[in-house]
Chains A and B, each alone.
Chain A
């Protein structure tokens, strides 16, 4: 059982006020908040062993390298990767996706097909469109239904021996739908295609086992799971990471450099050119330790309780419609009030100290599907409470009264 009163004490920001009201933070799907344990790791790094890694012979460099590599192992264990060198540090999910998309430029040819889903964040659409422009590959799209689920029979029909790559998110950022990724991966593998799963929205809710999924690439961001911004991870199967060419050139990623020819470093350094976000990587490790200590089963069961409670309470408001009604979803409620623009509701809620996201959530194809300009999205984390949901419901009622 998760004790939310104790957990909340770990997050200093949760006790602040916004516009004179206690902060109710429901924008967790954009950025989660940071516990003291992670803040301490950041302070410890800059206070005690800030140094460049991998090259120095001095003590600080050695200590920083040890902690950074320990963080890599923490991430490896968390995602159950087979090898530590299959874990590549990046600046975040977007960087991870671009790294893979860029690598596939060398592997795809005209007429090859790649498949994306309608439920994607723009960051899992645009890099692949750019890849298709570069290579002449064709982009195919898995459609969605009105519940916000992928139409799997259509996916089956899109797959063929021309399919080289499938990229899909684990959980939709705009609607919270949990996609059947195991089925998507297995079916792609049956036709010989590789699969990249965008785990940015899943990583704070689900403990993913990349070996059990047999996924080829899995990407995530630290700031979605209690870590700092500007750091993320690319998991890739060793065989795939060896096939892909390096993304950026620079220091750290080379074995030997002459003006005739440069040979590249082994994994993971081949993909980690330049001085990385060392502190961020170490703090990412601290964040994963923090969440693993609480336990993802406890987190999921508590968040489901919040989701059920929030859904029920919000639906009591007349004229409120929820988008994304799949039975398989995480603690995200995307909604609109009839005849009222989401921007207006978000503005009134902010005046009441309630932080939600409004707009198209970088997922315009979903908004086009529902023919709406955007939604109001409340996303709950394991440190939120039912009392805060009550405050949201009161806030929405007030916004409705003022705006109708």
Chain B
């Protein structure tokens, strides 16, 4: 599926929730369920320090597609990471570079990607794109 299609699917899923509680409970469950990153990659090098929560990101290139794994010490942050990974992982670098994160707004989680939250997510999205740019350069 393309990034666009996955994002539309996520918007669809979130449209079924009636209030913030259902939305957040879903995010919390996503955060709890997913083993997001291999322990060996939870290193100082892969850390993105937010003022509030920490985020770890690891990237690998497999058959022209970038595979991301990530984690956080806060569970809601982790839930949002799960959604971001679902959209950006296993995609071509070029598509990752061109993709936007407007869908986060549409599923009612915009504040979490605001710089004032200082949860590391804004830097995380930047980091995903940086990895994609680096891999794209390798391909060229």
Contact: B52 with A343, CB < 8 Å?
Answer: yes
Distance between Cα atoms of A19 and B75 in the complex (Å): 21
Q: Which residues of B contact A374 (CB under 8 A)?
A: 52
Given that A343-B52, A343-B119, A359-B52 are contacting pairs, would A402 and B77 also be in contact in the complex, using a CB cutoff of 8 Å? no
**Nearest CB in chain B: distance from A374 CB, A:** 7
Contact: A402 with B28, CB < 8 Å?
Answer: yes
A347 at the interface (CB under 8 A from B): yes
Q: Which residues of A contact B66 (CB under 8 A)?
A: none
Q: Which residues of A contact B76 (CB under 8 A)?
A: 343-344, 347
Contact: B73 with A373, CB < 8 Å?
Answer: yes
Contact: A403 with B28, CB < 8 Å?
Answer: yes
Say which one of B17-25, B38-46, B57-65 lies at the interface with A.
B17-25
Closest chain B residue, CB of each to CB of A352: B20
Which among B20, B28, B52, B77 has the highest number of chain A CB atoms within 10 Å? B52
Closest chain B residue, CB of each to CB of A362: B51
B86 at the interface (CB under 8 A from A): no
Q: How many contacting A-B pairs (Cβ < 8 A)?
A: 41
Total number of A residues with any Cβ neighbor in B under 8 Å: 17
Distance between Cα atoms of A374 and B119 in the complex (Å): 13
Distance between Cα atoms of A360 and B74 in the complex (Å): 14
**Nearest CB in chain B: distance from A187 CB, A:** 35
Distance between Cα atoms of A342 and B54 in the complex (Å): 12
Q: Which residues of A contact B74 (CB under 8 A)?
A: 341, 343-344
**Nearest CB in chain A: distance from B123 CB, A:** 15
B53 at the interface (CB under 8 A from A): yes
What is B's interface to A at a CB cutoff of 8 Å?
20-21, 24-25, 28, 51-54, 73-77, 112, 118-119
Name 9 interchain pairs, CB-CB below 8 A, sorted by A: A341-B73, A342-B52, A343-B74, A344-B28, A347-B76, A360-B51, A402-B21, A402-B28, A403-B75
